[in-house]
Structure 1
Amino acid sequence: MDVGQVSNATFDWLMDLHQRWNQDSKLVIRNQKQYLKLGSYVGYLQSPSGEGIEILPKTEIASPQRPESLRALLQEMLACSHQLPFKEGDAADLARSDIPLHEWIISQFLIQLTSLVKRGLRFDYQNVEEESRFVRGQLDVGKQSRQSPSKAVWFNIRHDVFSPNRIENRLLKTALDYVLKLTKDSHNWRMANTLAHQLSVINSFRKPLPEIAKWQDSKLMQPYRSIKPWCVLVLEQLNPNFQHGLHSGIAMLFPMEQLFENYVSHHLRKSLPSDAKITAQTASQYLVHHSPDGGEEKAWFQLKPDLLLSHVGLRTVMDCKWKLLNSTQSTAAEKYGISQADLYQLFAYGQKYQNGHGHMVLIYPRHSEFQEPLAKLSFSEHLHLWCVPFDLHQKKLVPGDWIYHVPALSPDEPSKRKGFLSERLESLDDVAKVLGGKSGTELWPRLNEHFGLEGELQLIRRNAAMSRSLGDPIDDYSDEEWIAGFEYFATEPRYNYEVSTGMLLLPLTVNALLRRLRITKEKYQKIAQGQIASDLGGISAHLEENVNLRTMRKRPST
């Protein structure tokens, strides 16, 4: 359901909690009645009176009849977002899909802790100072010299004890104490009670959160790696010491936008080709640069797209929005439900991260009213946006025409990815279009924007190509039959070193073009950073030129 009723005591607790939240919750008053909107958050709330409120992801416009599938989806999204070791479709989890989120987290923590205890906890040496009738370890001479005659038979000693009271075990025991206090599930309580007796010799922390940073991830502690994220989640989200008075209930909320973004990026990375990379929350660009009071120039208003895809030298901005679009609302007034603010945001991303050229992807959850990608939205002749649904159950983007422009995101259609990269570029027009231009006359500015430089473009005549030398500049781009290729080069000003793509002879494949541009750009960046760069670009260029020259000699037309 989208609206629920709670008791007055629970509502007062929510109102008190609402005043302290830094979230997008909102108080609404209608017909002299108060409503509290929790915004785009999911999770579980439990008031001090024991009344529970479960907030599940809204994946359909209509209210769901069976929440079990939504609970399973939320559990998987939470596992992806917090990098929790979670086996999808486990029979025990499916059988207990009716339990609230916090009880599921407790259950997973107890399962991991039980497994760890069976394999054996790690002990560590701890230094102990005490008085003893026998000398062991080191004698504390300073304290012993001040010892009173009445205690002459006692020795002040320091020695090491092989103890289970290491930081990791104490954090686990502290989390177990929280679980015993909060769980109301009989199965969880029995497991927790059994473990509490087994770990009774281990001391808890009163303030555990500062100790989490001291958790060791050495090879010796490898068996603890799977339980650590569950332990941290319990300590951070179920800490009863955080709340006092009216806040003594449970408030476990997670931002749905972040869960969806992490869920999408997790599954997209699984199907990426080896030469592609997705970066989350990159922040290398700013909206404006300003020199306040004529002083040093500063960058203001940082731009952080959710995901940035890098593939064969090209970048694609991707943003994830947890919102239900409606593909039937195609009027100018409804606009499918797309937010105008989101489009302003994507336009700024496209200008700064893609130099105003190329294709971007806006990802929404798939549902009954949004089954297929929308037609292309164009900011300009060179910058375009695709609204694509992500199937939450099949864990992939729905294919469409957008795949041709972003082939790295096409796991189920490798032929399209391979076909795009192996496509032959016969003319300068073809080369310019791959880089976002309209015709060969835009090749030079497109190359400048791709490299972020002011380089020089030299067109190559066919007779010059045969003699492996650059010809005079050709001003008439339409005279394609006299153009054999091109070369782009730029001078690094700091070291006065010239970097070149080498002779790129037509025809060439998209893959060869993008690979050569990537190598050249990497070489330029190494030189600019003062690193010693191997001449990989020159070697690659030399090999490709020889192949193309041999091909040209075999063609009668040349």
Structure 2
Amino acid sequence: MIRRTILEWETLRYGDAADEIPAHAADRIAAVAAASPLAGRGGGGVLDHGRKALRARGVVGVIAAGGCALEILPKIDIPNEDGSQATGSIRRRLVHMLAVALDLKIDAGQVTALDWQRETLLEILIRLFSEKLVNAVRQGIPRRYVEHADDLPALRGRLNVTRQFTTLAVDPSRLACRYDALTSDIALNRIMKAAITRLSRIARTTDNQRRLRELTFAYADIADLPVQALRWDDVVLDRTNGRWRELLNLARLLLGERFQTTSAGGSDGFSLLFEMNMLFEEYIARMLKRALGDTDLRVVSQGGRLYCLEADDLRQVFQTRPDILIKRGDAVVQVVDTKWKRITARIDDPKRGVSQADVYQMMAYGRLYECERLTLLYPHHDQAGCDEGLIGDYGVNSCQDRLELFSIDVARGDDIKARLRSMCQSGLKEVQ
């Protein structure tokens, strides 16, 4: 199988060398990428399919079709590492960001056991899911009482009076019964079986295939439904089955709208893709909630929803949704907008690569939410020409608002809460 790994915004030329991809394989991968919901109207939102090369865009994940696979990883600088070692570290950081965004717990033993340098992102996620599911099944598959309606020779449960004296009036030997029966064929288990079935077709490593075969046997009595027919809203998580929440989140990731099977040139293909902008935003929001958990500040993600304009008929238009609002009570003390793009060194660009549209957007947020502190947060990288943290502080003409530019190094995950807390330090001074 042809396997290639590149970073976002990198180019992969056509050819037979180890750092190239055969043109026929590139065509198949590009076809699957164009069918992704993230590809956009023109089909080029994931990959640019050029005459001489494929070019990744701001979407990461795995695309596979017809004996070839392309893994796209985020552009994260790992100090003192290169080659496969750096690639493994980037996979580790990406899985960490996904775990935070999806509320997954990955213990130290699992992290150590994973082969970050050789296994692709897809195989790593399949391994995490299958291992967690095997452990959960050993403790028992969840069951629930489900209401049944059936015509029986003897009364069971309650009598359905309406049906008994209408439909069954001519057949008094049968009783219209309604009763509750304990069963494992419930929505949660059907979702798990759908994930097992899907992953069994695409897993490549021997260990993943073995675990999925074991799970297929364990779920043999559960109804096999297509992904489109799964009833996610019927899943009930309570104190008896709360430990399945992580597995449900993983299954949603692997079966959701961003993971789809397509057909290209008569061969099956699939993609597991993430928008780094959205993942970075969710990751920062959740880490900020942890960082400020012991203060009177609270973090609101995708909140606010105030409108910019009001029409003559008093109808409000152009609703805003800032990435992150930091509030004290009902007052907004800081607006944070995350941007997954690389800032430039000041020597190369006095504006540091900040988009003018982003600045206009932050000015609107300051006015609408009556907040003087506005923050644009970027991922840090080695070529930024500065240290991580505050990289720009600007006053806004004719008012007290200030626009800050911050960077955060996601390659350093050990103390990221402390570093994010430091970013909000001026908002915490009155609390301490």
Q: Give the equivalent residue in structure 2 for 1:501.
A: none
Change (3 A) 1:383 1:223: closer
**Aligned pairs (5 A) from 1:120-199:** 120-126=140-146, 127=148, 129=150, 137=156, 161-199=181-219
Aligned partners of 1:60 and 1:368 also within 8 Å: yes
Runs of 5+ unmatched residues, structure 1:
148-153, 409-416, 423-558
What is the root-mean-square deviation in Å for CA atoms of aligned residues?
3.4
Aligned partners of 1:137 and 1:160 also within 8 Å: no
Change (3 A) 1:298 1:104: same
State the 1:169 CA deviation. 1.6
State the 1:183 CA deviation. 0.7
Change (3 A) 1:89 1:75: farther
Aligned partners of 1:171 and 1:208 also within 8 Å: no
> Does residue 6 of the first structure (1) align with residue 21 of the second (2)?
yes
Identity %: 22
**Aligned pairs (5 A) from 1:327-346:** 327-329=345-347, 331-332=349-350, 335-346=351-362
Q: 1:77 aligns with which of 97, 100, 112?
A: 97
What SS does structure 2 have at the residue aligned with 1:191? helix
State the 1:326 CA deviation. 3.0
Q: Matches of 1:327 and 1:396 in 2, distance apart?
A: 26
**Aligned pairs (5 A) from 1:326-475:** 326-329=344-347, 331-332=349-350, 335-354=351-370, 358-370=372-384, 371-372=387-388, 373-380=390-397, 382-392=400-410, 393=412, 394-396=415-417, 398=419, 406-408=426-428, 417=429
State the 1:87 CA deviation. 3.4
**Aligned pairs (5 A) from 1:212-361:** 212-236=232-256, 242-246=261-265, 248-272=268-292, 273-291=294-312, 296-311=313-328, 313-329=331-347, 331-332=349-350, 335-354=351-370, 358-361=372-375
What SS does structure 1 have at the residue aligned with 2:75? coil
Structure 1 runs (4+) deviating above 6 angstroms are 138-141, 154-157, 399-402
Change (3 A) 1:125 1:305: closer
Cα displacement string for residues 348-403 of structure 1 (whole angstroms, at most 9, x for unaligned residues): 22222236xx2211111122233242241222252211111113113247589976
Larger Rg: 1
Q: Matches of 1:253 and 1:400 in 2, distance apart?
A: 30
Aligned partners of 1:316 and 1:354 also within 8 Å: no
Q: Give the equivalent residue in structure 1 for 2:74.
A: 57
Q: Matches of 1:193 and 1:82 in 2, distance apart?
A: 26
What SS does structure 2 have at the residue aligned with 1:284? coil
State the 1:190 CA deviation. 0.6
State the 1:61 CA deviation. 10
- Larger RCO (CA under 8 A, 6+ residues apart): 2
State the 1:146 CA deviation. 5.7
State the 1:288 CA deviation. 2.3
Per the normalisation by structure 2, the TM-score is 0.78
State the 1:213 CA deviation. 1.2
- The structure with the largest helix share of the pair is 1
State the 1:188 CA deviation. 0.7
Q: Matches of 2:156 and 2:345 in 1, distance apart?
A: 77
Aligned partners of 1:178 and 1:239 also within 8 Å: no
State the 1:212 CA deviation. 1.1
Q: Give the equivalent residue in structure 2 for 1:474.
A: none
What SS does structure 2 have at the residue aligned with 1:282? coil
Per the normalisation by structure 1, the TM-score is 0.62
